[in-house]
Structure 1
């Protein structure tokens, strides 16, 4: 069993105003924490991992196939593998949440 506390997360600024950190990772999935400042944008990207998430605080707007989808505190979401997506924080409050990736995300480009 592996236990990770917030001190272990190694938050990295992936893009301006967006901090991401690997929390834990196993054989089949990995867990990531995110922190997105007001006005910050995660550019469109895709990856071979299915991505499910949960917003703890703030409101996050995803853009998928030109459609804007709003995720609020307490909402969960799922992004299929290889689906291009972007996200942005249009609000005045920092967005925080957690995401699970399957298969696990290893060697993420923003952690270099």
Structure 2
């Protein structure tokens, strides 16, 4: 992968992934990726797992997260950590935006 150092927001668009969820890959390299995810109230990030480590920072809104079967309600300023292969998901209780950080890069998010 060619190294890119700048990722202007003007050069990317929100991708509608359905169900009241939109995302934008904000920056990435082979070993790291940052993704902005917008949720409408009631939108569900279905339970899933992947081999990547993930940190989620809640920029705005209110969400019920389920990580490994444990549920917690979090809001702006809170964060989560998901180790590789743990089942996780979220329900949006109040419209908001998440910032997801993955390592390594989620190649499946790139077009």
**TM-score exceeds 0.5:** yes
Stretches of structure 1 lacking an aligned partner (at least 5 in a row): none
Runs of 4+ in 1 over 6 A off after TM superposition: none
- Partner residue of 2:91? 88
Q: Give the CA RMSD over aligned residues.
A: 1.7
Distance of 2:12 and 2:64 partners within structure 1: 24
- Partner residue of 2:67? 64
Q: Which has the higher strand share?
A: 2
Number of positions where the alignment pairs a residue of Structure 1 with one of Structure 2: 108
Stretches of structure 2 lacking an aligned partner (at least 5 in a row): none
CA contact (8 A) 1:35 1:97 kept: yes
CA contact (8 A) 2:21 2:43 kept: yes
1:90 CA displacement: 1.7
1:4 CA displacement: 1.4
CA contact (8 A) 1:8 1:23 kept: no
- Partner residue of 2:34? 31
1:67 CA displacement: 2.3
- Partner residue of 1:8? 11
- Partner residue of 2:81? 78
Q: Deviations over 1:6-45 (max 9, x none)?
A: 2233321223101112111113101101100101101111
TM-score, structure 1 normalization? 0.85
- Partner residue of 1:104? 105
TM-score, structure 2 normalization? 0.86
Distance of 1:8 and 1:97 partners within structure 2: 20
CA contact (8 A) 1:43 1:86 kept: yes
